[in-house]
Structure formats: structure tokens, C-alpha cells
Amino acid sequence: MKRPKILVVGSFVMDQTATTRVFPKEGETVLGETFSKAPGGKGANQAVQAARLGADVTMVGKLGRDANADEMLYVCKKAGIDVSHVTFDEKIPSGCAVIILEQKPSEDTKNRIIVLPGTNMKITKEDVAFLKDSISDYDMVILQLEIPMEINELVAKYASEAGVPVMLNPAPSAPLSDELLSHITYISPNEHEAAALTGVKIDHEGEKFNRSQAKEAAQKLFDKGVKNVLITMGTAGAVLMNEKETIFSPTINSIKAVDPTAAGDSFVSSFCTGLCAGWNLQDALDFSNCVATLTVSEKGAMPSLPTLEKVKKFNEEHGFKIPDTRILEK
């Protein structure tokens, strides 16, 4: 059996994380608890997660000539990712982020993030031109919004013309052109990003959400040409909709959330990996919920992304059904 072959075009970001018991107010200084650095970036996170789950992954992005770049490339290579198409800028530093985690006793961790794009916004059309002839080699293309929009539009166009499905994770939130949306097979916003894209707020409380509002939001994206809409809603779970069916997967609450950083990236990437492994939509959705649950149980972006072995063990311990993973096992 041939392992799923996934292309990720996206960002590299070195995360610098500080924990505190309370977010500082405007003009206020507070004493923090801990500080750490870890490789991240939505693109690199998604690439590493897919690779750790067993997919054959190629990453396209841009780095600076600095120590952060060396560290981020090392983690990707260790995961088995093909980084031969990662390019470098000689003057601009690699992307980085400042993350503040608010950790209050007996409460889930909350985060605030500032991303400094650096070289991520220096990817050029020439850097991805090779994909026009080779993109058909892949089973899925994953995109996000931490790189120039024109690059996403170009890669999505290449993929669509070659009949390769495209997953767009529209984060951080930004306006999307009709042309880009017309080339998207799967779009995966959270409820806030969905509202920004469609103007439809999806009310939810606890494990319940307003299904009619979710369908209204999805229909606006269907009208733009998107084939499948996958909306994540925190404690209310995730719902996938297309013109034929609506599929729901509840949140798994058996593990305490320690750090939500990279949970969305983990969810999107594992969903795509499951689809490329031949699973049906429900199985891929349930699997991605399990993977994201494990991700939030540990600190850091890439350090928290679980391996396939860890996911399988988690499913066995909690009695969750997991699809046939033999195609993902190296």
C-alpha cells in the first residue's frame, strides 16, 4: 500500500511562549510563570502532524538565514518531511510568534498570539512555479493564511486544474477572493473565522450549537464554489457539511487542556491524513478530534503534536474506534 502523499504550502514560525496566571490589562505589567521556545507556524505544524501520523509529506515555505530556521528545519527533517523545496531569504529573519498563555487553577488554558511573519510573506510565484507540473503527484494540498494570498491563489489554481483536492485552513482570518474559494475542496474555519467569512454567527453553549446557523454559513461558502465546509466550535465539537450531508463529531473531554496552541493545525492535518488514507468523512472527523485532544494536553506547538502510535494507544485506552491505519504505518 502506498502512503498518502500530502503537500503543505505555508509558514514556519518560532513560537516564544510565556505563561501567566492573568493576562495583563492595557498599561499593566504582570509577573509570568514560565517561558519556552518551540518550532511552530501553521504550515509547518500541519506538515509535521501529517508526517507523524504516517503521511509522506512535502513542505514548501521560506526561511531566513538564522538559528530559528536551523531549528525548525531540524524538526521537520526528523519527522521525515521533504524540505528540498524550502527556500531562503538572505536579509529577512524567519517568522516568529509571541504567545501568552493564561493558566488559572481549575480552568482551561487561554491563549493570545502575535505572529511576526518575517520570511513567510516573502514567498514568490517563482518559488512555487515547479508545482504547475508536479502538483498532480500529491493526494492533497493543504494551505493556510500566514503566507501571501497570491501564493495561496496560485497553488490552489494549480491543484484544482490537476484535479487534486485542496484544504484551506482560513487562519488567521482574512478576506478571501471568489477565485480562491472556487478552487477549494475543503475549508476549515473555526466559528469566529466562519463568521468573518460569511457574516453568520454560530451560537453555541457547552456541547450544543445552532445547526441552522452553521448550515446558513456553509451555504454561503457553497455558493462560492467550496465543496465541503468543516467548522470547529471548541467545546461544541466539529461539524462537516456539503450539499449532500451533515456530519458531526463531539469534543472529547477526557483530557484537561493544557495549551491550545496548534490544536487547530493538528485537527486539520489529521483530518486530511485520514481522508488521504481512504477513510470516510465520519471516521476522518472523529480521528482528527482524538488527535487534537492529545495536542492540547501538552505544551508547545510542534512538541505537542502526537505520533500515530500515541493516537492509537489513546483510542485503545478510551475505547474509541479507530479506522484501519496500516496504510499509515511505515
Residues with a catalytic annotation lie at: 265
Handedness of CA 45, 49, 50, 55 (dihedral sign): positive
Which run of H or of E encompasses 168? strand 166-168
Question: What is the longest distance spanned by two Cα atoms in the chain?
Answer: 58
265-276 burial: b if 16+ Cβ within 10 Å, else e: bbbbbbbbbbbb
Amino acid letter, residue 96: C
322, burial (CB in 10 Å: exposed 0-12, middle 13-18, buried 19+)? middle
Cell numbers standing for residue 230: 468543516
Q: Give one word for 54, left, alpha or beta, with left for phi > 0 and alpha for psi -120 to 50.
A: left
Rounded Cα distance, 175 and 153, in Å: 12
Q: Where are the alpha helices (DSSP H) in 116-166?
A: 125-128, 131-134, 149-162
Rounded Cα distance, 113 and 295, in Å: 17
CB 279 within 8 A of CB 327: no
Rounded Cα distance, 74 and 54, in Å: 18
